[in-house]
Amino acid sequence: MKTTDLLAKKSHHTETGLDAASLPMYLAATPGWTLDGARIVKTYQFKDYYETLAFINAIAYVIHAENHHPELTVTYNRCVIKFDTHTVNNGKGGISENDFICAAKIDAVFEQSFS
């Protein structure tokens, strides 16, 4: 699995999560993302609140287009993004490929405009 593979994919409804053996491969394709229980998490740093909000606005299109919505925690110069898929594991939640597709696309937005 490569980042370019994830960028080429589109999120889709799924009830199938990733197994623990495949998670390292997906994490390798999305540097900086870490496991936090049954979700993946990454923190983005910015110079000020305006830049933080500009990032949120920039990723809003990606989130909407993928129809896969993360939990966002926004502070003055930081945004923490947490992805999980509520429909996997019989509705108990977990990690799916959709989480990594969106993670890769959000990273691309950050790299293109904020790094």
pLDDT exceeds cutoff 90 at 91: no
**Is there a contact between 74 and 56 (Cβ–Cβ < 8 Å)?**
yes
Domain count, the chain: 1
Q: Is the pLDDT of residue 10 over 90?
A: yes
Q: Confirm whether pTM is higher than 0.85.
A: yes
pLDDT tens, 57-89? 999 999 999 999 999 999 999 999 999 999 988
- Contact (CB, 8 A) for 59 and 31: no
More reliable by pLDDT, 43 or 92? 43
Domain interval for residue 89: 3-8+17-113
CATH number, residue 35: 3.30.1360.20
The answer, yes or no, to whether residue 4 has pLDDT greater than 90, is yes
* Backbone dihedral angles phi then psi of residue 34, each to the nearest 5 degrees: -130, 160
